[in-house]
Amino acid sequence: MKYFFASDIHGSAFYCEKMLKAFFDSKAEKLILLGDILYHGPRNDLPEEYAPKKVISMLNPIRDRIYAVRGNCEAEVDQMVLDFPVLADYAVLYLNGISFYATHGHVYNASENGQNLPPLSENDVLIHGHTHIPVAERMTLETGEGKKREITVLNPGSVSIPKGGFPNSYAILEDRKFSIMDFEGNIIKSIEL
């Protein structure tokens, strides 16, 4: 099966529309949103066509195809207007035979010292947004007492406010291949899981 991952829409109707076009064109089963859906946040400039109410009207009709986790910009008021759950801090997903720990990334992430990792087993996948920078890599992290753990870390980048010189992006998981793409269909990064 095919799954579509996106993060950090930040209320941009312009980029939400592009994201949904890519989602429908991909024929993915589910749209997995990794937080920061409606609000742009105090550290970000307003994204192009900032219109959270329009984003709501675009996402609610496909509520049965969306899995979402809470970003650092989500609040209870967001849940009042969205017809799909957005207040879970994480989701554990088993997709195409792979265990994913999906979260926004502001609490759990793969810091260099491994101190911000969620409870993961060897070969699990941590997927998050928050940094607005695409990531698709295997990491060996120190986990204490001289032990190391091999995990895969993924980040689809940002739909509306990319950082680090990267383009606006999303990702697709098809079988065991994870590809981060721009809205022109170019692969930015990919990895076999």
Which pLDDT belongs to residue 143? 64
Give the closest residue to 168 by CA, choosing from 189, 182, 185: 182
CA distance readout (Å), 188 to 1, 57, 102, 165:
21, 30, 21, 12
Side-chain-facing half-sphere of 31: CA atoms under 13 Å: 30
Domains of the chain, CATH where assigned: 2-192 (3.60.21.10)
Ranges 32-41, 114-123, 169-178, 184-193: which has the least confidence:
114-123
Task: Report d(CA 124, CA 146) in Å as an integer.
Answer: 20
The pLDDT value given to residue 149: 74
> What's the average model confidence in pLDDT over 110-120?
71
Instruction: Please report, as a single letter, which amino acid is at residue 173.
Output: L
CB 125 within 8 A of CB 96: no
Amino acid, single-letter form, for residue 35: G
pTM, entire model: 0.94
Question: Percent of the chain, pLDDT > 70?
Answer: 95
Q: How far apart are the first and last CA of the chain?
A: 14
Render the burial of 150-159: b for 16+ CB within 10 Å, e for the rest: ebbbbbbbbb
Q: Which amino acid is at 142?
A: E
Q: Is 95 helix (H, G, I), strand (E, B) or coil?
A: strand
Which sign does the torsion angle of CA 138, 155, 100, 109 carry? Answer: positive
